[in-house]
Structure 1
Amino acid sequence: MGGTGGGTGGRESGRDGRGVRAGLWRALPTDDADELTWLLFHQEDVLSLEQARRFLSPKAIRHRVATRRWRQVHRGIYVTHSGPLGPAQLRWIAVLAAGPAAVLGGLTAAQAWGLRRYETRVVHLLLPARHQARSLPSGVRVHRTTLLPEQDVLSVGQPRRTMPARSLVDAAQWAPSDAEARAVIAAGFQQRLVGGDDVHRVLDRMPRARRRKLIKVTASDAAGGAHSLAELDFLSLVRTAGLPEPSRQVVRHDAAGRRRYLDVWFEQWRVHVEIDGGQHLDPRTAWNDMQRQNDLWTTGDRVLRFPAWAVRNEPERVITQLRAALRYAGWPG
């Protein structure tokens, strides 16, 4: 342990030797760094008053705050630099303020695992149902649970958080709409945070989960290859219209031998459907798509392309064209 005097003998502020601020790039402490320096490194320059008292006297702590080397961001919680607070620091502030029973959950935990395109400054915490709540910073949302088995928590991680599959299930439960719930599950598979039956195993342990059926169906479809929300919407249209069940994300090889992925493939009738998102507006991407489509057409396949907005907003026209293509290809209807 460090002494109770004023110095720590280490890099408190989270700067490296060139003055680069923590959160952008952080140098690994040297081998001779003291315990407080290592603690601040692992906790993104955030610590609680209880932790600080293990290394410093109350007078030394007050001096750091008074001289603005540290700043108090919540009752009993300090940040040891004066720069802006990033997502990692907000997560540490939340869990330290909530106490040792708290774990990061939902979208916050999923972001800590690497989920992209769902950035938010709201920090979601999961707490035992009977746990006494503490005063928490603004922007922290607490959720209660009676079901949090050991296999759903990464206890060795810093800070503690739910495992990827449980994080996605909770994010879907807490989402403001069914569409957003489906989107986050699809994104988890698309970005390879989860795979196979990871989500189903979590749902087996949560028989009363909100949106359980929707999450289960979405996970099944996503595991089968329909990773984007537009593809999931298209698959739902196909089933509602009574059309045959297609394969998704099937690997084919083009004329040059390169691997290509087909969004939707009705193999028996050789009908291929592409769902185009915004990336297809890029000229280079569009030309790659055209080459792939030409390779398919030259071998006799039928290729239909629909923009994602049409799948959502003009489903009748989409299904009408698809049904016609399948019938011309020999589907009896």
Structure 2
Amino acid sequence: MSLNGLNRRLPADDADELTWLLFRQDDVISLSQALRHLSRKAIRHRVATGRWRQVHRAVFVTHNGPVNADQFQWAAVLAAGPSAVLGGLTAAQAGGLRGFPRRVVHLLLPAACRRGPLPPGVVAHRTTRLPSEDVLAVGQPRRTMPARSIVDAAQWAATDDEARSIVAAAFQQRMVGGDEVHLVVERLPRIRRRRLILDTAADAAGGSHSLNELDFLRLVRRAGLPEPTRQQVRRDAAGRRRYLDAYFEEWQVHVEIDGSQHLDPAHAWADMRRQNDVWIDGDRLLRFPAWALRAHPHDVIAQLRAALRAAGWRG
């Protein structure tokens, strides 16, 4: 059940089956479901009097107000048929993934499943592999499990960078962990971006939780520099836990990647305080804006190499 459903008043204990069905489905119902409880004449009367509204060919909402996001997802699933589940980015966002715009509703259907026309703004994807362990056993509408959702979102993404961002964000927001993504990929022999997804998951599990950190790690590897520890935990002067973007521990060289959050004065000051604590402890600290990783990678690597050599690296 959606958050929208949880905030609504529960039906009375003696409510009929139709009332409970509408409660579970956020007041959205398919024609075939409605016919189990009402005659066609009764359904037409509800539409004609404005109590119900037809939002798709055989899907209704039982009110005449605007359709919210949860109800639109129900309409999409019901229009596609009983085998459809929310998938990809839509399922991941239903499970709590943040930071990505909601453009369309993504559905996942078995390859052999027949379906009718879908509402505008709904995209259906087919799969030959949808085992029960990839479908969430609780919650409505049905959706894929977090790891499967992230893998599908990455392979359906518009660009490689978007795919990498989705995988990294899933680890950073603790939607997935360990080898969950790898296990899903192993079950999908024809997946797009297989190597990209596996490599990004491995790096994200190791601590690179943003696209900027992943870009930095790629530069370091290409340049043949030693690999840093990512998201290293340090204690500042007040004993608070701080997470370093990249830390070359043997040489005490610390790198911070400044993203868009540094346009916010509060964030900038918090990072300056963290930087000062690091300097006080004796580490060398380098800071690079995220755009420099892509626009001036040679300058970034040259400064990093110089800092490592000054700290004693002889690679």
TM-score (norm 1): 0.90
Displacement, 1:258?
Answer: 0.8
Q: Could you say what secondary structure the match of 2:54 adopts?
A: strand
In the other structure, the counterpart of 1:320 is: 302
In the other structure, the counterpart of 1:281 is: 263
In the other structure, the counterpart of 2:285 is: 303
Q: How far does the alpha carbon of each residue in 1:21-75 deviate from its partner, in whole angstroms, 9 at most, with x for none? A: x689533334343322221121111101111122222222111100111100111
Matched, 1:236 2:218: yes
Matched, 1:171 2:153: yes
Question: d(CA) in 1 for partners of 2:256 and 2:123?
Answer: 39
Aligned 8 A contact 2:5 2:23 in 1: no
Question: d(CA) in 1 for partners of 2:304 and 2:249?
Answer: 14
Matched, 1:203 2:182: no
In the other structure, the counterpart of 1:247 is: 229
In the other structure, the counterpart of 2:25 is: 43
Aligned 8 A contact 1:23 1:86 in 2: no
Displacement, 1:119?
Answer: 2.8
Counting aligned pairs with the same residue, the percent is 71
Moved more, 175-184 or 129-138: 129-138
Question: d(CA) in 2 for partners of 1:330 and 1:56?
Answer: 80
User: Which amino acid in structure 1 is aligned with residue 183 of structure 2?
Assistant: R
Matched, 1:292 2:286: no
Q: How far does the alpha carbon of each residue in 1:232-285 deviate from its partner, in whole angstroms, 9 at most, with x for none? A: 111111101111010000111011111111110000000001111111222222
Question: d(CA) in 2 for partners of 1:30 and 1:314?
Answer: 65
Alignment of 1:34-73 (within 5 A): 34-73=16-55
| Unmatched runs of 5 consecutive residues or more in structure 1 | 1-21
User: Which amino acid in structure 2 is aligned with residue 269 of structure 1?
Assistant: W
| Unmatched runs of 5 consecutive residues or more in structure 2 | none
Displacement, 1:195?
Answer: 1.1
Aligned length: 312
Q: How far does the alpha carbon of each residue in 1:185-243 deviate from its partner, in whole angstroms, 9 at most, with x for none? A: 11111111111111011011123211101000000111111101100111111101111
In the other structure, the counterpart of 1:112 is: 94
Q: Could you say what secondary structure the match of 1:162 adopts?
A: coil
Moved more, 229-238 or 186-195: 186-195
Moved more, 24-33 or 272-281: 24-33
Matched, 1:266 2:244: no
Question: d(CA) in 1 for partners of 2:43 and 2:60?
Answer: 10
In the other structure, the counterpart of 1:133 is: 115
Q: CA RMSD in A?
A: 1.6
Q: How far does the alpha carbon of each residue in 1:284-321 deviate from its partner, in whole angstroms, 9 at most, with x for none? A: 22222111111111121001111111122221111111
Question: d(CA) in 2 for partners of 1:124 and 1:215?
Answer: 19
Displacement, 1:131?
Answer: 1.7
Matched, 1:330 2:285: no
Matched, 1:150 2:126: no
Question: d(CA) in 2 for partners of 1:165 and 1:107?
Answer: 11
Question: d(CA) in 1 for partners of 2:6 and 2:289?
Answer: 38
Aligned 8 A contact 1:111 1:119 in 2: no
Aligned 8 A contact 1:230 1:312 in 2: no
